Amino acid sequence: MLFNPASSRTTGATAVRDGGAPPPVEPPPRGVIPPDPVSADSLFGVPRQQTNPSRWSGENWGAFAAALRADGVELREDRATKSAFVTDAGGLSLGAPHGVVIARSAAKVAAVLRAAQRFRVPVTTRGGGLTTEGETVAFGGLALDMTGMSRVKRVDREAMTARVEAGIFWHSLAEVLRRQGLDYISAPLNFTSSVGGTLAVGGIDVNACKWGCSADQCVAMEVVTPTGDVVECSESRNPQLFERVLLGYGQFGVVTEATLRIRPYTPCRMHYLFYDDLRACIGDLQEVVNSDATDYSGILTMKDRANNLLFAFDSDDRERAFFDKVRPRLRGLTETQFALRTAAFYALRPWQLPEALWLYRRKKLLLPEFERPEHLRDGKLLDRTVVFSRAVWRHWGNRTMVIPDLSTNAAKFADAVLEGNRVMRKYFKAYTLYCVAIRLFGKRDRYELSCMPPDAEGWGYGCEFEPMFKAGEFSRDYLQSFKNAIYDVGLRYGGSYYRFGGAMKGYIRRMFGDELVDRHLAMKRAADPAMILNPDVVF
C-alpha cells in the first residue's frame, strides 16, 4: 500500500454509519489483467486527434446517490447546477456530470469517496477550473466542487505559515495575508486558481527561479485518500502520501487543507530588456537565473520578433548588485534601442509591414498594463500577481484557451523553444511565448511524474505556447493537431509537460517510460482500488 493510515486517521472523520464498513471492492478475476489507462498505443492508428473520453454509463448511480444522502451529503442533480461544470478554461473538452457535490468538510469528502469506491462511481475534483485539457471536466459521474472549503484557518507569524482550506483562491488568501503585512511565497499568475489544485500540478510564478513551485512551499496537508481516510501528512508524517499528492495531478488523494510557508510582504521593482533574437533572450534568462541575483525573472514574447526579458527585485541592495555585476553581461536592448532596430529591420522588408503594425499595436495595448499607476508606488510594483493576472486574462484570455507547454533541462531549452516556435509560426499568425525557470530541490519523489524535467539539475525551464485567436476561429481538431505538434517536440527533447489530461494519455508512456509509469500505476491501483478519483487525468 502507499501508506498505512491506521495511526493517522482523523477521529470520527472516517467513521462509517450504522450499516458498518462498505464491502471491499472486488479485484479483477484471477489471471485477468486490468486495462492499462495509459497504454502506449492509445494514439496509434488514430489520426492525430483526441476526442473527449467516453461518458461514464451511470451504472449504480441511483444507489450511490442514495448512499450519499443517507450520509448527510448534499447532492445536486438539477440541470442548472450541472451545466456550470460542462467545460474548463480551455473550452475544448465538454462533458457533464451526473451530479455535483460542493465540498464542505473533510468528513463529507471522505463519505463521498467511500461511497464512490463501493459503487465504482468516478469522482472528478475541481477548484478554479483553470485546466485546459479537460482535467476538471467530469465525463459523467460526480463533480466534486472544492470551492465550498475556502477559509483561512490560521496565520502563524512566528512559524511564518498559513493553514488554509484547499478550495480557497489565491486572491482570497493574498487579501487576508496582506492586511497583516504578509504574502504567499509562490503562486500561479492567475489568482483564481485554488490552492489545492495548484499543489496538485505545481504552481509557477515569475519568482519560481528563486523559490521553486508552489507545491514546494507546502509543509503539511490534510488529505482524503481515494478510499475515504482523512490523513494529515508532511515530510515527517506519512511522507509517502505527502510526496505523491504534491504534483500528483489528483491521483492519490483530495487535498482539503494545506499549511503553506509565507513571508513578509514586499513590493518589487520591475525591469525589462528587449530582444529581436529569441535564442539570445533565452541565453540571457539563463545567465540571470544562474547568477541568483534577481528575485523574479521570465520571458514574455510578442511572436519571436519582440522578446521581453523581465526581472525584478524585492530589495534595493539586490537590485544595485545586479546592475553592477550582471547587467553588463546581458545583450538586451532598452526600449528605444529596440524600437530603432526593429524599425530598420522592417524598413528593409516592406512585405512584412503587417507584422510590424501588429507588433506596434500589441505593444501600445499590452505594455501599459504592467505599469498601471494604481499598482505603482515610488516606481515599485505593489502587486505583481494582480498585474500579471489582469494582463493574462485581458490580452490572452478567451472562451477557448489552448496553451500547450513543455519543460526541459537548461541545455536543451533554447533548441526546444525554437523548434516549438517554428510550430507556432506554422499554425498561427499571432501568438506569444512565456518562459520561466523553476528551482528544483534535489531529486524529490514528487517530481517523478510531473512537469519537472526528469534530467534537470538545479533548475528546470518551461515554456508555454499561447496562440492568439477568437473562439470558434479554428476547429477543435486543428487546435488538437497543434497541441500534438508541441507535445512531439517535448518527446524529442526528453522533457515533460505542465498539463496532462485525457488529451495527453497517449504521450505519458512515451515521455516517462514504462518502468516509471508502471510503478505509479501500481501505486494508484493500491491507493484507489476502483480507480475512481480523477480517472481522466493520468490513470
Could you report the per-residue pLDDT of 294-313, keeping only the tens digit for each?
Answer: 999 999 898 899 999 999 99
Q: Identify the pLDDT of residue 16.
A: 35
Helix (H, G, I), strand (E, B) or coil at 485: helix
Give phi and psi for 252, each to the nearest 5: -115, 5
The helix (run of H) or strand (run of E) holding residue 437 is: strand 431-439
Dihedral angle sign, alpha carbons of residues 60, 64, 65, 67 = positive
Give phi and psi for 317, each to the nearest 5: -65, -45
Give the end-to-end CA distance of the chain in Å, rounded to a whole number. Answer: 17
Q: Tell the burial category of 151 from Cβ atoms under 10 Å away from its Cβ (0-12, 13-18, 19+).
A: middle
Rounded-to-integer distance, Cα 321 and Cα 309, Å: 18
Whether 18 shows a pLDDT value over 60: the answer reads no
Q: What is the mean pLDDT of residues 388-409?
A: 78
Rounded-to-integer distance, Cα 263 and Cα 161, Å: 8
Please tell me what DSSP assigns to residue 194: B
Grid cell for residue 204:
509557477
Query: What residues does CATH 3.30.465.10 cover in the chain?
Result: 152-264
pLDDT band at 502 (very low <50, low <70, confident <90, very high): low
Q: What is the mean pLDDT of residues 258-286?
A: 95
Correct CATH for 268-381 of 3.40.50, 1.25.40, 3.30.70, 2.60.120: 3.30.70
What whole-number percentage of the chain has pLDDT above 70?
88
- Return mean pLDDT, the chain: 88
Rounded-to-integer distance, Cα 57 and Cα 179, Å: 49
Q: What is the mean pLDDT of residues 338-366?
A: 90
The helix (run of H) or strand (run of E) holding residue 270 is: strand 269-275
Question: What are the start-end ranges of the E strands in 440-507?
Answer: 459-467
**May I ask the CATH class of domain 152-264?**
alpha beta
Q: Identify the pLDDT of residue 50.
A: 46
Whether 396 shows a pLDDT value over 70: the answer reads no
Rounded-to-integer distance, Cα 97 and Cα 2, Å: 29
Query: pTM for the complete prediction?
Result: 0.90
pLDDT band at 13 (very low <50, low <70, confident <90, very high): very low
Rounded-to-integer distance, Cα 520 and Cα 514, Å: 10
Q: What is the mean pLDDT of residues 397-412?
A: 88
Whether 2 shows a pLDDT value over 70: the answer reads no
pLDDT band at 526 (very low <50, low <70, confident <90, very high): very high
Q: Identify the pLDDT of residue 165.
A: 98
Q: Identify the pLDDT of residue 3.
A: 57
Query: What residues does CATH 3.30.70 cover in the chain?
Result: 268-381
